[in-house]
Amino acid sequence: MKIMIDMDDVLTNFNIAFLKVANEMYGTPVDAIITVWDFWKCVPGLTLEMEEKVWERIKSTANFYESLPAYASPEDLKKLAGLLNEGIHEFYFITSRFPTKGRSVQAQSQRWLEKHLGCSGAVIVSSNKGQLCQILGIDYAIDDAPHHIENLLSHGINTYIIDWPYNRHIEHRFRIKTLGDFLDSVI
């Protein structure tokens, strides 16, 4: 079986990392609930111009992705590591991360996997996940971003949505709360 796992806000907690940078720069709350894809529309005190400056800070931070906290629980990461080490299934970690200072997005992502899973996997950087998953013959995918979910579904990929307030407008029967729920459902 071939499985695609998104990185940000499935494995890593990009949202909290963004909120912490915004807090350092502008004193905005770190506990804001991200209800829409645009941070400035749901983070109190954050304007569009301020959000753009937060993105600039992130892009200029060396190896930003390597330092992201885990979103998946330690138990779920251990389960994923065990499956990777078994080698029965093919896992692809497909992310649409933008470049930051330092190592390439792919290298930073692989180093994060090594740190948190004890092993790495096939990391691919792409903004057209649906087409790529179709080409790779992916059986199941998990993502959080509305535009990626819609792209995956439009390409006929069996997609699970990890539940976040900003993707609840997408009506889909495969909605789960955790990486472990996803792994239990497809394997």
| CATH number of the CATH domain containing 103 | 3.40.50.1000
Catalytic residue chosen out of the listed positions 8, 9, 76, 144: 8
- Do 139 and 47 lie in one domain? The reply is no
Q: Tell me if residue 6 is catalytic.
A: yes
Residue 163 CA to residue 178 CA, distance in Å, equals 8
Q: So what's the pLDDT on residue 24?
A: 98
Residue corresponding to tokens 């992201």: 68
- Do 9 and 19 lie in one domain? The reply is no
pTM of the complete model? 0.95
Structural domain of 53: 14-64
Q: Tell me if residue 8 is catalytic.
A: yes
**Radius of gyration of the CA atoms of the chain, in A:** 16
Tell me the CA distances in angstroms from 143 to 37, 44, 46, 90, 93, one per residue in order.
14, 26, 26, 17, 10
pLDDT by 10s per residue, the chain, length 187: 999 999 999 999 999 999 999 999 999 999 999 999 899 999 999 999 999 999 999 999 999 999 999 999 999 999 999 999 999 999 999 999 999 999 999 999 999 999 999 998 899 999 999 999 999 999 999 999 999 999 999 999 999 999 999 999 998 889 999 999 999 999 9
Tell me whether strands 158-162 and 140-143 are parallel, antiparallel or unpaired.
parallel
Number of domains in the chain: 2
Give ∠ CA 69-71-73 in degrees, rounded to 5.
110
Catalytic residue chosen out of the listed positions 6, 9, 76, 143: 6
Q: Among residues 64, 89, 105, which one ends one of the domains?
A: 64
The values of phi and psi at residue 29, to 5°, are -70, 145
Q: Among residues 64, 82, 99, which one ends one of the domains?
A: 64
